[in-house]
Amino acid sequence: MAEEEGKTGKTVLIAIDGSEHAKKAFEWYKENVFTPTDKVVLVHAVEMHEILNSQQWYATPYSFDRDTLFSILEKEKEKVTAKLEEFAQLLRDAKINGTVKSVHAASPGEGICKMAKEVEADLIITGTRGMGTIRRTLLGSVSDYILHHAHVPVIVCRD
């Protein structure tokens, strides 16, 4: 009981990737859940395998051009930093106490769940693209993964 009295508010993790769906999830949080004592963590999950697979940085399947690889990774780091700054501006504009973080993972859902544990989130909020059942089954869904693997309540915001 004393532990709960010392807690000043809930920690809310919001998955954000720059899409309109994610921004709408953030807006929904502001309008429906926000309290001034909340600590908000905006999380951008970066998929490293997509970065590496999207580039032809290797000469053969068993070797790679080191300089090209480092160049690609540096450019990606710059993109992620720019996105994090954009997300931080969302918090500043809304006058909400919070931080932005990126997490590298095999999949966005896995990274978001991992970060939720790390920051001891009380709630996860995510947007959804609203894929149909067949498409979601074939392609997978970040929100579906989070719903099934998160250790805390999850709110999925539909457009």
Higher local confidence (pLDDT), 112 or 53: 112
Average pLDDT in the 70-87 region? 80
CATH number of the domain residue 124 falls in: 3.40.50.620
The reply to whether 59 falls in a domain is no
Which tens digit of pLDDT belongs to each residue from 94-152?
999 899 998 888 888 999 999 999 999 999 999 886 555 554 444 458 888 899 999 99
Higher local confidence (pLDDT), 156 or 70: 156
Reduced to 3 states (helix: H, G, I; strand: E, B; else coil), residue 74 is helix
Residue type, 124: I
Q: What is the pLDDT of residue 74?
A: 79
Residues 6+ apart with CB under 8 A from 47: 104, 105, 106, 107, 108
The reply to whether 82 falls in a domain is no
User: Range of 6's domain?
Assistant: 2-53+87-157
The reply to whether 75 falls in a domain is no
Closest CA to 128 of 95, 154, 96, 101: 154
The reply to whether 74 falls in a domain is no
User: Could you tell me the pTM of the whole model?
Assistant: 0.76
The reply to whether 33 falls in a domain is yes
Q: What is the pLDDT of residue 83?
A: 82
The reply to whether 11 falls in a domain is yes
Q: Which residues of 103-137 are buried (b: 16+ CB within 10 A; e: fewer)?
A: bebeebbbbbbbbbeebebbbbbbbbbeeeeeeee
The reply to whether 61 falls in a domain is no
Which tens digit of pLDDT belongs to each residue from 14-37?
998 878 888 899 999 999 999 999
Q: Are 129 and 146 in contact (CB under 8 A)?
A: no
The number of domains in the chain is: 1
The reply to whether 26 falls in a domain is yes
